[in-house]
Amino acid sequence: MGEIANGHNGDWYEASEEVVAQAHIKDWKAVAEGADRDFVGFWEERAKEFIDWQAPWTKVLDDSDKPFFKWFVGAKTNIVYNAIDRHLKGARRNKLAMIWEGEKGDVRTFSYHALNREVSKFASVLKALGVRKGDRVTIYMGRVPELPIAMLAVAKIGAVHSVVYGGFSTEALHGRLEDSQSRVLVTCDGAFLNGKIVELKKIADEALKRSAAVEHVVVVRRTGHEVSMETGRDMWWHDLMGLPIADPKCPTEIVDAEDPLYMLYTSGTTGTPKAIVHTHGGYQVGIATTLKYVFDLRDDDRWWCAADPGWVTGHSYIVYGPLILGATSFMYEGAPTFPYPDRWWQMIEKYGINVFYTAPTAIRGLMRWGESWPNRRDLSSLRLLGSVGEPINPEAWRWYHRVIGKGKCPIMDTWWQTETGMFMIAPVPSMPLKPGSGTRPFFGQQADIYDEEGRPVKDNEEGFLVLKRPWPAMMRTIYNDPERYVKQYWSKYPGVYLTGDSAKRDEDGYFWIIGRVDDVIKVSGYRLGTAEIESALVSHEAVAEAAVIGLPHEVKGQSIHAYVLLRHGVQATAALADELKAHVGTEMGPIAKPEEISFVDSLPKTRSGKIMRRVLKARAQGLSEGDISTLEE
């Protein structure tokens, strides 16, 4: 892979002849031009190429009720049919669909046949528990095979899954259960992480005490430690799966392309997290196409997306995408550095992983342990690498490229969001790369950078990143709040999708993401809302008011800093600061714990009482406070 210096834009990394020769998309310019001329036609072709349908569509894109776009209108399908059922007829039946390794080194594998059996059995169990088409089922688990199995089982019967990340805690889970009104919760006794047990069942019990609509709790035994089981409500997964109700013959419910597949909570600008809704039809077309084109996934590949299935990355690219393409998806339970910092590299060697996809924060964290750990492992099976979740700093990019990819694996830096469902700005392997840039909008998409008034800015100027065309895997609405969907994403600039990111585009048309412009903090790639952390702080009896900001952090990208105004008479002590951090951990989850808590006497606010986090941020970094004409401390 040649390296061509290119002045102020840093280096170009040209794809080698070998990479281009092997690539699914060789002439990316021609494909881009074609898709740009007719993006609806481009997606229609992909829908025919990658997906089987039970009934055809009457219209590819219906934009008559903007921004409530519909794709593949009238078509009948089920994503599980494409992810599993259709592979059972041919040779793929005996191919590994999933390889899983636990933190303790235990291994489980599932052929497509075996996966189908587990999914079908659990789908039958869900039906026996009264779950019907359209019902919501919440899944709150560690990274165990039963997590994707539960997701697929829910989807198979036309119900809607709501996966809550296993790193979240009581209040976060409770809020998501309340909002979704799930009647069934699937969880684990606990999860292994970093040699310790995360008490998932205990947290779930606490969340359920705060009143929820949940009638049945299904518990997977993973850790085997003692947990309390409430008679009449809680049942063991393995008990249910041993009963006749766990019928391995369960038909896949054929649904409308636009029927909901899942909802996934994510943090936005204000208040409580909102549930992004994705559907069966367009979503499967979008994720299959992007995975095939960007990661060039081949039939004999072993693919490892090292994200958590509880986030959109896992939904699209651990579970559904790879299975639709009939690939082998690898999943690992634990942390990358346990018990040693070569845990990931060891598994790449052991399983012969060909394509590996992770987040910049993980790369930066692993970089700190030095090159000797990866160098002791055979990583020669790797062909392509990927990055997602936050901007990758060029230093981490080069380390990843040189030390992990041995200079021969192009890095696919994929920009996207829970809302977009699929990669939106991303290269394909044959494209020349620049470290730190996700390159160009995916085929058929047009992105732009706008100023406050909606005028496109000049090259290399910062502005609001927008997407100008609909795409098949786009979110359809916010669960129970269509107005918020319109207001948050489609109102600043009517007709275009507001991403919430700031970015620049350079003179080569390459996009450079700068970061969120709203009150969203990205900690180790995890998306957290300031409002949710603040409300966790305020729920402590000592706290009167709180404001939370994200500040740059060497490994995590950003870290959480909280400014706390104590109630009258409460003493500000270091012990109290620790207690507040722990409190946020219990309410929201360990990832939301503030790095630092500062006790203050006042918070900068606008005259209307809104906290000016921008001012706090500027002060903390010793920068100019900007326009403070509305400030009233």
**Interface ranges with ligand WT7 (CB under 6 A):** 266, 312-313, 387-391, 413-418, 438, 499-501, 513, 516, 522, 527
Distance CA 86, CA 433 (A): 36
Strands 497-505 and 511-516: antiparallel
- Closest to 505 in 3D by CA, of 472, 466, 558: 466
Q: By C-beta, is 227 or 433 nearer to ligand WT7?
A: 433
User: Given the complex with ligand WT7, which of 53 and 415 has the nearer CB atom?
Assistant: 415
Toward ligand WT7, which CB reaches closer, 34 or 515?
515
What's the min distance (Å) between Cβ of 257 and ligand WT7? 23
Supply the minimum distance, in Å, between the C-beta of residue 134 and ligand WT7. Answer: 25
Q: Which is nearer to ligand WT7, 81 or 356 (CB)?
A: 356
Tokens of 440: 């160009």
* Nearer to ligand WT7 among residue 169 and residue 290 (C-beta): 290
Q: Which amino acid is at 290?
A: T
In the complex, least distance from residue 357 CB atom to ligand WT7, rounded to whole angstroms = 10
Residue 457 or 517 with smaller CB distance to ligand WT7: 517
Instruction: For the CB of residue 426, give the shortest distance to ligand WT7 in the complex, in Å.
Output: 8
Q: How far is the CB of 418 from ligand WT7 (least distance, A)?
A: 3
From the CB of residue 293, how many other CB atoms can be counted at a distance below 10 Å?
Answer: 23
What φ, ψ does residue 182 adopt, rounded to 5°? Answer: -70, 140
CA distance 405 to 127: 46
- Given its phi and psi angles, is residue 459 left (phi above 0), alpha (psi -120 to 50 degrees) or beta? beta
Supply angle C-alpha 589, 386, 23, rounded to 5. Answer: 155
Nearer to ligand WT7, 238 or 487 (CB): 487
Task: Provide the token pair at 448.
Answer: 């732009």
Select 522 or 581, whichever has its Cβ closest to ligand WT7. 522
Listed residue (180, 166, 183) closest to 526, CA to CA: 166
Beta 191-193 vs 196-198: how paired, if at all?
antiparallel
State how far the Cα of 206 lies from the Cα of 217, in Å rounded to an integer. 13
Q: Which amino acid is at 54?
A: Q
Residue 495 is given by DSSP the state T
Min dist. Cβ of residue 474 to ligand WT7 (A)? 13
Q: Using the minimum distance from each CB to ligand WT7, give the nearer residue, 391 or 604.
A: 391
Nearer to ligand WT7, 313 or 329 (CB): 313
- Closest contact distance (angstroms) between CB of 391 and ligand WT7 is 4
Which DSSP letter does residue 16 get? P
Answer whether the bond into residue 339 is a cis peptide, omega within 30°.
yes
Task: Please state the closest distance from residue 146 (CB atom) to ligand WT7, in A.
Answer: 23
Query: To the nearest whole angstrom, how small is the minimum distance from the Cβ of residue 622 to ligand WT7?
Result: 24
Q: Which is nearer to ligand WT7, 187 or 387 (CB)?
A: 387
* Least gap, CB of 390 to ligand WT7 (angstroms): 5
CA–CA gap between residue 233 and residue 214 (Å, rounded) = 9
Nearest distance from C-beta of residue 291 to ligand WT7, angstroms = 13
Q: Which is nearer to ligand WT7, 310 or 336 (CB)?
A: 310
CA-nearest of 333, 412, 411, 336 to 367 is 336
Task: Provide the minimum distance between the beta carbon of 231 and ligand WT7 in the complex, in angstroms, as a whole number.
Answer: 38
Measured distance CA(589)–CA(203) in Å, rounded: 10
Coil, helix or strand for 166?
coil
DSSP E strand boundaries for 24-179: 59-62, 70-73, 76-77, 96-101, 107-111, 136-140, 160-163
Least CB distance from residue 159 to ligand WT7, whole Å? 23
Nearer to ligand WT7 among residue 312 and residue 611 (C-beta): 312
DSSP class of residue 10 equals: -
Under a CB-based contact definition with an 8 Å cutoff, are residues 197 and 223 in contact?
yes
Residue with smaller CB distance to ligand WT7, 297 or 425: 425
Instruction: Determine the 3-state secondary structure of 506 from DSSP.
Output: coil
**How far apart are alpha carbons 559 and 69 in whole angstroms?**
36
Output the smallest distance, CB 436 to ligand WT7, in A.
9
- Whether the Cβ atoms of residue 308 and residue 327 lie closer than 8 Å to each other: no
Measured in residues, the chain has a length of 633
CB of 591 to ligand WT7, least distance (A): 12
Distances 477 to 32, 276, 607, 613 between C-alpha atoms, Å: 28, 6, 33, 28
Looking at the Cβ atoms of 153 and 433, the one nearer to ligand WT7 is 433
3-state helix, strand, coil in the chain (%, to 5): 30, 25, 45
Q: Which single residue is written with the structure tokens 């709180």?
A: 546
Decide: residue 621, CB within 10 A, 0-12 exposed, 13-18 middle, 19+ buried: exposed
